[in-house]
Structure 1
Amino acid sequence: MRVSALSATAALVVATLAGGAAPAAADTPAGPVLQVDLEAGKGLHHNIGTVFYERLDGEVNAVRIVSVHVTSGERDCAWVSWNDPHDVNGWSNLTSEPSCNGTGLEEHPDRIIKAPVGHPLKVRLYADHPGSDVVHKDIEKL
Structure 2
Amino acid sequence: MRKSTALPAALALTAATLAGGAAPAAAETTLSTVPLEAGANLHHNTATVNYERIDGAVNSVKITYVLITSGERDCAWVQWNDPKAVGGDGWTNLTPEPSCHGIGMGESREVIIKAPAGHPLKVRLAAYHSDSADVVHKDIARL
Calculate the TM-score normalised by the size of structure 2: 0.78
Q: Alpha-carbon deviations, 1:71-105, whole Å to 9, x = none?
A: 00011000000000000231110011000000001
Aligned to 2:120: 120
- 2:11 alignment partner in structure 1: none
Q: Structure 1, residues 52-89: CA drift from partner, whole Å, max 9, x if none?
A: 00101001100000100000001100000000000023
Distance 2:120 2:135 in 1: 27
1:136, 1:44 → 2: CA distance?
A: 12
Q: Deviations over 1:19-45 (max 9, x none)?
A: xx8xxxxxx994110000000000000
1:139 aligned to 2:143? no
Q: State the match for 2:104 in structure 1.
A: 104
Q: Output the amino acid matched with 1:128.
A: Y
> What number of residue pairs does the alignment pair up?
125
In structure 1, the partner of 2:42 is: 44
Q: Is the deviation greater in 34-43 or in 124-133? A: 124-133
What are the equivalent positions in structure 2 for 1:1-142 lying under 5 Å apart? 14=19, 30-88=28-86, 89=88, 90-132=90-132, 133=134, 135-142=136-143
CA distance in 2, matches of 1:56, 1:100: 32
Partners of 1:30 and 1:56 within 8 A in 2: no
Distance 1:135 1:52, change over 3 A: same
Bigger share in strand:
2
More helix by share: 1
Amino acid at match of 2:107: E
2:91 alignment partner AA: W
Structure 2 vs 1, CA of residues 74 and 29 (structure 1 numbering), >3 Å: closer, same or farther? farther
SS of equivalent residue, structure 2 residue 109: coil
Separation in structure 1 between the aligned mates of residue 91 and residue 28 of structure 2, nearest angstrom: 27
Unaligned runs of 5+ in 2: 1-14
Question: For structure 1, which runs of at least 5 residues remain unmatched after alignment?
Answer: 1-9, 22-27
